Amino acid sequence: MINLQNTSETINHLLRTFRLLQKVGRKHPEVRKHEILFYQLLEKYFTRILNAREEGNFIATHTTFMPGEILYAMDIVPMQTEWTSWILALFTKRGTDFISEGRRLGLTNEVCSAQRGIAGAFSLGTLPRPDAVIWSNLICNNIAKNGELIMEINRCPGFFLDHPLGDSAAERNYLRGEIEDMIHFLEEQTGRKMDWDHLSDSVAGTMKQIEISRQICELRKAVPSPFHPQEFMEMLTVTYLFQGQPEATEYLEMLYEDLSLSVSEGRGAVSPERFRVMSIFLSPIYRAPFLEKFSQEHGMVSVAEPIFTQWEEGKLDPTRPLDSLVQKLYMLPERSLYSPVGERTLKKIVDCAKEYKADGAIAYADVACQHTCALIKLFKDVLNDIDVPLLILDCDLVDQTVTSEEDMREKLEQFLELLEDR
Amino acid sequence: MDTEFITMKPAPTADLTSQALDRFREVNGLFPETSHILEHKRQGKKVLGWLCTYVPEEIMHAAGVLPIRITGYSHEIKPDEGNAYLYVNNCSFSRSCLQLGLRGGYDFLDGIAGGSTCDCARRLMDLWHHYIATSFYHMITVPQKYSSKAHELYYEQITQFTQHLSEFTGIEITDASLSHSIQIYNESRELLRKLYDLRKANNPPITGSEIIEISNAGFRMPKETFNEYLKNLLTNIDTSRHAYSNSRARLMLTGSILGNHEFVESIEQLGGLVVTDDLCTSTRHWYDMIEVNQDESPLRAISRRYLNNFPCARMIPHDERLKRIRDLAQGFRVDGAISQIVHNCTPYTHELSFVTKMLEAQGIPVLSLDVEYGTASSGQIQTRVQAFLEMLEGKRR
């Protein structure tokens, strides 16, 4: 294990790794442009965090589904809790340390390991101390309830953004008010005013990114499908970290071009393509290399992730940035997990399986994720009705001790055998 | 009908206090087929199930509905369907409720109303709606904070609930009917406060276990009758009665939902007298009165009370909840607190370290128990409680 004592050492180690991966990528023509850009963007994101103090910038740490466009528009350095800490964990192999520290803070195993790890990363001083915490209940109790602990660890102020459950006019209005209050909070904390023109530009950027994401989804319907498993996590990372920013647009455009080329050449992510599967929930981030290798070996390709890549219908209007951010939060693919799960979500799952010609589906059942696991039976039943088998793969998003690679391999191979026999 | 649900039968008792308590026990023993529910159904009236204390009962009452709290089995179960439908990582309360529903335990319900209080409750409602058909289903968005905007949203939400319920029952819910319901429910709160205050005595005449039995009955019968039972108990209770003469320590119970009074009884049999709690099946359910201000609609008052009531661990910030727990601990002069958290109850798990720190700063040690919903006790729990009581006794010496 790398012995990294403090924040700057840790981030510098990370930056060196990102630079090395770009360098290696450039030397290998088979590495596609967007893959190199991915590491370039990570370098940029973490460099900004590293230099924030020296440059007198304000750092706001925030949970995944906060409208990051606001932070960029106020020239605040965003530090997204989930992705920042778990990229750190992945590249420094300190995930277990983070989780153990979270346990020491009183977060038992019932709290998802991702949130335990975030609290642990802050407590160990691996992440820089933020100037403020902004967090929300989108998408679960664990995210909502961790905010006060992160505030306490960092001894900094915070703002909790409350998402209503439904999508009535009153609830949308409430959410708008919450966003306004959050802006006021940030203005008070930073002494800066919101740059509304910048926010409008960011909203326009987000709309552009949603449109490209939709086009990418369309490309993935092709047979063979061009999208690699690792690209899913990379795409999520970039769009989560650079919401509405030109960096995310550039990445998505590049990814789209690379995928378009593959489709026009009839080139799939795996060759030959034997099994088209739909992924439900998130696969363990530390098993991404394994899943890539397994997919290549077995001709398995993930064609869709309905809960993470399929945006709901709708448009954003940059001239009305606040309303658009509300609209965006209701269009988020992941929001289908927060709203009451009924016919609409079930239809989305079924339609996706049909449109993407899925042979089967894999539910990554994160052992500590209640709100996703509780849907597995519902999803299994509706997929069963259209004769699409569902594999339930117990795992943990970030805790490597829960499922071994061998165990995953065995279950996946059994599932593919089942698909082959049909 | 799942016979597993029927558990406790009232034991024959003699003194007036015990006789008064037996009336509550009878309701619990017969639930769900209580004479009250059967009679209500026989009259062609509706019975609705409610889930979580953020669903205002007064509104259902004003619509002529008998509101019944959705609970799981009153004992620990093997959650076969619960696990299959909700997955093992959901709290055993939600799995127990769903299993009971799937097995027909709630077939008498005409509908269900819930709030967006926690992940497990939300999913329980989702699956209930999908797999257990009821003609009425309503989900209330419950804001997770107390701002004026949050109050406005919650008021709008319960206004919608009121309208939906009126349409469903065909009964107009008026200010007058709501005021009448508030009066009945407030009376219940006053009576419960009188009863709970008896536990401030050095030797309380009522045990924590008996309190849970009373509370449980209150969720399963018309409030008017419950109030009569409470009045009867308060009139007949022998205040010189020592609930437990061998009390070794005064305890507070904190944590998530608790349904089985036998769990409390097992603590009390070891000498730990449970004198107060912050449970949603007990104190937290009834604690705040509904106060209707001049020129204010009763619905507005209901709305304010329900969102401001003694908070669940879901609410943010947690300062108000911590303050109220501290006040209870001081008011009831507790020596120690037992935190019982239903396994996989995430909001309470997150809050535990804050509660522990706050109580320990007051000189009140905390024993933390991870339990399954419905559990009566276990050897391990008994050993830990025993050791905790010894520690408290040692501290006093």
Strand order across the beta sheet in which B366-371 lies:
B272-277, B249-255, B336-342, B366-371
Q: Is residue A370 within 8 angstroms of chain B, CB to CB?
A: yes
Inter-chain touch B87–A374, beta carbons under 8 Å: yes
Q: Count Cβ neighbours within 10 Å for each residue of B13-27 and write b for 16 or more, e otherwise.
A: eeeebbebbebbbbb
- Output the CA torsion sign for B121, B126, B130, B134: positive
Q: Is residue A365 within 8 angstroms of chain B, CB to CB?
A: yes
| pLDDT value at residue B353 | 96
Inter-chain touch A370–B353, beta carbons under 8 Å: no
Percentage of chain B surpassing pLDDT 90?
Answer: 88
Neighbours of A404 (CB within 10 A): 11
| pLDDT value at residue A1 | 40
* C-alpha distances in Å from residue A92, one per residue of A11, A47, B161, B294: 10, 16, 51, 63
Q: Count Cβ neighbours within 10 Å for each residue of A37-52 and write b for 16 or more, e otherwise.
A: bbbbbbbebbeebbeb
> Which residues is B341 bridged to in the sheet?
B370
Inter-chain touch A374–B130, beta carbons under 8 Å: no
**Chain A residues near residue B368 by CB distance under 8 angstroms:** none
| pLDDT value at residue B10 | 45
Residues B102 and A160: their CA atoms lie apart, in Å, by: 37
Q: Is residue A191 within 8 angstroms of chain B, CB to CB?
A: no
| Helix/strand/coil (H/E/C) assignment for every residue in chain B | CCHHHCCCCCCCCCCHHHHHHHHHHHHHHHCCCCHHHHHHHHCCCCEEEEECCCCCHHHHHHCCCEEEECCCCCCCCCCHHHHHHHCCCCCHHHHHHHHHHHCCCCCCCCEEEEECCCHHHHHHHHHHHHHCCCCEEEEECCCCCCCHHHHHHHHHHHHHHHHHHHHHHCCCCCHHHHHHHHHHHHHHHHHHHHHHHHHHCCCCCCCHHHHHHHHHHHCCCCHHHHHHHHHHHHHHCCCCCCCCCCCCEEEEEEECCCCCHHHHHHHHHCCEEEEEECCCCCHHHHCCCCCCCCCCCHHHHHHHHHHHCCCCCCCCCCHHHHHHHHHHHHHCCCCEEEEEEECCCHHHHHHHHHHHHHHHHCCCCEEEEEECCCCCCCHHHHHHHHHHHHHHHHHHC
pLDDT in tens, B188-219: 999 999 999 999 999 999 999 999 999 999 99
Name which of B350, B55, B255 is nearest A137 in CA terms. B350
* C-alpha distances in Å from residue B296, one per residue of B156, B233, B299: 15, 34, 8
Give the nearest chain B residue to A150 (CA atoms): B350
* Nearest CA-CA distance, residue A119 and chain B, Å: 11
| pLDDT value at residue B8 | 42
Partner-chain residue, chosen from B90, B116, B316, that has the shortest CB–CB distance to A160: B316
**Chain B residues near residue A168 by CB distance under 8 angstroms:** 156, 160
**Chain B residues near residue A105 by CB distance under 8 angstroms:** 353
Residues 133-172 (A) with a CB less than 8 A from some CB of B: 137, 140-142, 144-149, 160, 162, 164-166, 168, 170-171
Q: Which of A158-162, B222-226, B379-383 is predicted least confidently? A: B379-383
| pLDDT value at residue B86 | 93
| pLDDT value at residue B13 | 52
Q: Specify burial of residue A358 (Cβ count, 10 A radius: 0-12, 13-18, 19+).
A: buried
* Nearest CA-CA distance, residue A207 and chain B, Å: 28
Name which of B358, B320, B267 is nearest B145 in CA terms. B320
- Give the dihedral of Cα atoms A391, A396, A401, A402; nearest 10 deg: -40
Neighbours of B154 (CB within 10 A): 26
pLDDT in tens, B78-120: 989 999 999 999 999 999 999 999 999 999 999 999 999 999 9
- Does residue B12 register a pLDDT over 60? no
Task: Supply the pTM of this predicted model.
Answer: 0.95
Residues A297 and A295: their CA atoms lie apart, in Å, by: 5
pLDDT in tens, A25-63: 999 999 999 999 999 999 999 999 999 999 999 999 999
Inter-chain touch B350–A137, beta carbons under 8 Å: no
| pLDDT value at residue A368 | 87
Instruction: State yes or no: cis peptide before B204, omega within 30 of 0.
Output: no
- Does residue B3 register a pLDDT over 60? no
* C-alpha distances in Å from residue A33, one per residue of A21, A269, A411, B395: 12, 15, 34, 68
pLDDT in tens, B275-334: 999 999 999 999 999 999 999 999 999 999 999 999 999 999 999 999 999 999 999 999
A184: Cβ contacts below 8 Å, ≥ 6 apart: none
**Chain A residues near residue B126 by CB distance under 8 angstroms:** 340-342, 374-375, 378
CA angle B287, B288, B293 (to 5 degrees): 165
Stretch B216-232: mean pLDDT = 97
Phi, psi angles (nearest 5°) of residue B282: -145, -110
pLDDT in tens, A52-61: 999 999 999 9
Residues A208 and A213: their CA atoms lie apart, in Å, by: 9
Partner-chain residue, chosen from B123, B144, B343, that has the shortest CB–CB distance to A162: B144
Contact A99, A126 (CB under 8 A): no
* Nearest CA-CA distance, residue B96 and chain A, Å: 14
- Does residue B372 register a pLDDT over 90? yes
pLDDT bracket for residue B68 (50, 70, 90) = very high
Residues B168 and A369: their CA atoms lie apart, in Å, by: 36
Q: Is residue A267 within 8 angstroms of chain B, CB to CB?
A: no
* Nearest CA-CA distance, residue B385 and chain A, Å: 20
**Chain B residues near residue A137 by CB distance under 8 angstroms:** 144
- Does residue B347 register a pLDDT over 90? yes
Residues A340 and A36: their CA atoms lie apart, in Å, by: 39
Kind plus residue range of the DSSP H or E element containing A366: strand A360-366
Contact A52, A61 (CB under 8 A): no
Classify residue A337 by its DSSP letter. Answer: G
Give the nearest chain B residue to A108 (CA atoms): B349
Contact A177, A149 (CB under 8 A): no
Q: Is residue A184 within 8 angstroms of chain B, CB to CB?
A: no
Classify residue A140 by its DSSP letter. Answer: -
Residues B59 and B158: their CA atoms lie apart, in Å, by: 8
List, for chain A, all residue ranges whose pLDDT scores fall below the cut of 70.
Answer: 1-5
| pLDDT value at residue B171 | 97
